[in-house]
Structure 1
Amino acid sequence: MKTLEEQLDAAGLQVFGCCERLSAYGPDLLQNSPLLQDFTPAEADILGASMLLVRAEPGQVMIREGESGDWMMLLLKGTVAVTKQIEVRNDDAFAYPVEGGHTADTSETAETADTANTTARPGAEVPASRVAVIRRGAAIGEMSMLDSEPRYTSCTAIDAVEAGVLGRRAIALLIRDHPGVGAKLLVKITQLMAQRLRNTSNQLVKLLRKK
């Protein structure tokens, strides 16, 4: 198994050390980030010390659909487009789930964008459709980090981005060395995933009611 640094290098992401003090990114990050809510500045700094800092230029793919990786990201600066290769029929009206705890049309940090409304021709490559735009404070990639399944969507930097990367092994060490912070982190990740499931279920109910 590749190290986290090797995985990030293979993804084209350059590491600039660890995040160290997440609290230095401003109190609004802790207040508005679904992942960091309920963390004290001191606890956020402990979490940041377990994260690697990466930067991405505009247009750079940070997470690629279909690839595997045992890590997640917390957006610290910048804006990221979430895209999905989907075949959408004219009668489809479903909001696709976005890793980060929300579906594309219900997240406070994600806004619905242009989704293709046509069906690809047989044998043709399905074009990627933008399903959301996520901003500072959003967490992405936690689902694949936990279950090691391929990434469900791609994430591409719209402008200059800074993100903290947290690997599965780092979480294990965090639980060992700082059990209080580790337990709080796992609770927040569970809440994000539960919220995404709830939102997706609500959208499915709305779709079924229309038929």
Structure 2
Amino acid sequence: MVLFDKLFAPRPDDPPESRLPAERLAAVAGSAAAHEAARWLRAPTALAQLSEDDALTVVGFMRPRRFSAGTVMIRQGETGDTGFMVLVLGGEVTVESQQASRTGPVTLSVLGPGSLIGEMALVDGEARSATCTASTDVSCAVLTRDALVALIGEQPTTGAKLMTAIALRLAERLREASMKLQVHAKLVRTLQQEIDVLMPTPDKRK
């Protein structure tokens, strides 16, 4: 994890958005880990629309974080701490959703390196839609809302590309959810038709 420790600068508590542009550029220019993070940011599971240079610029505004196995990184329904998104660089994260019709959470997916979590709440500031727990020790890069604002102000073109890429990702997820709902509705109609055949109502028996 030496490269991870050198991702941005020797002062991990120093918010990247508070640095001068030249300092931020120097911090990532010669860092193999920063280039690796930029590569993961451009993965198909993240923001593939970004160019290599744009991704590296965004990484310059991110800060490294580690989560121990079992740590809840994001909690469903949380409203007080929604101002960040996470790019997974190493390890696995389990995404679960608590549904009213079930007594326990439903596992939605298990995410690995190159996955983004929390981008929806970063944009709209609303409650988290799922719980994300570190299945293993996780290394990641975090983009806060303050850093996003600084990025847009300092690099408006890259900021616009980032927001467009996030919007496209959210639109893709919305389309996937819509398709799943259509499949579910079709299954419900089919089951209802079979029930009607097996157990016709009084009106249908005449």
TM-score normalised according to structure 1 size:
0.68
Choose between structure 1 and 2: higher strand proportion. 1
One-letter code aligned to 2:98: Q
* 2:35 maps to 1:24: yes
Structure 2 CA distance for aligned equivalents of residues 145 and 30 of structure 1: 16
2:143 corresponds in structure 1 to: 166
Q: Equivalent residue for 1:80?
A: 93
Alpha-carbon distance in 1 for matches of 2:47, 2:166: 10
**What is the CA-CA distance between 1:42 and the residue it aligns to?**
2.9
Alpha-carbon distance, 1:134 to partner: 0.9
Q: Indicate if the aligned counterparts of 1:79 and 1:136 stay in contact, CA closer than 8 A.
A: yes
The residue that corresponds to 2:155 in the other structure is 178
In structure 1, which of residues 43, 61, 65 is the aligned counterpart of residue 72 of structure 2?
A: 61
**Larger proportion of helix:** 2
- Once the two structures are TM-superposed, the CA of residue 33 in structure 1 deviates from its matched residue by 4.2
CA distance in 2 between counterparts of 1:169 and 1:144 reads 14
Secondary structure at the counterpart of residue 62 of structure 1? strand
Under a length normalisation based on structure 2, what TM-score does the superposition of the two structures give? 0.70
Compare relative contact order (CA 8 Å, sep 6+) and give the higher one, 1 or 2: 1
Q: Distance in 1 between matches of 2:88 and 2:109?
A: 14
Deviation at 1:56, TM superposition (A): 0.7
Gapped runs of 5+ residues in structure 1?
A: 1-14, 89-118, 120-125
SS at match of 1:190: helix
CA distance in 1 between partners of 2:141 and 2:123 (Å):
17
Match of 2:204 in 1: none
How many matched pairs?
Answer: 161
In our comparison, the structure showing a higher alpha carbon Rg is: 2
- Give the Å deviation of 1:138: 1.0
Q: Distance in 2 between matches of 1:33 and 1:197?
A: 17
2:119, 2:41 → 1: CA distance?
Answer: 18
For the residue of structure 2 that corresponds to 1:137, the secondary structure is: coil
Aligned partner of 2:126 in structure 1 is 149
Give the SS at the match of 2:48: coil
- Aligned mates of 1:36, 1:25 — CA distance in 2: 14
Give the unaligned 5+ runs of structure 2. Answer: 1-11, 17-26, 190-206
Distance in 2 between the 1:65 and 1:136 partners?
A: 22
Distance 1:57 1:187, change over 3 A: same
CA shift for structure 1 position 162: 1.1
CA separation of 1:167 and 1:26: change in aligned 2, threshold 3 A:
closer
What RMSD in Å do the two structures reach over aligned CA positions? 2.3
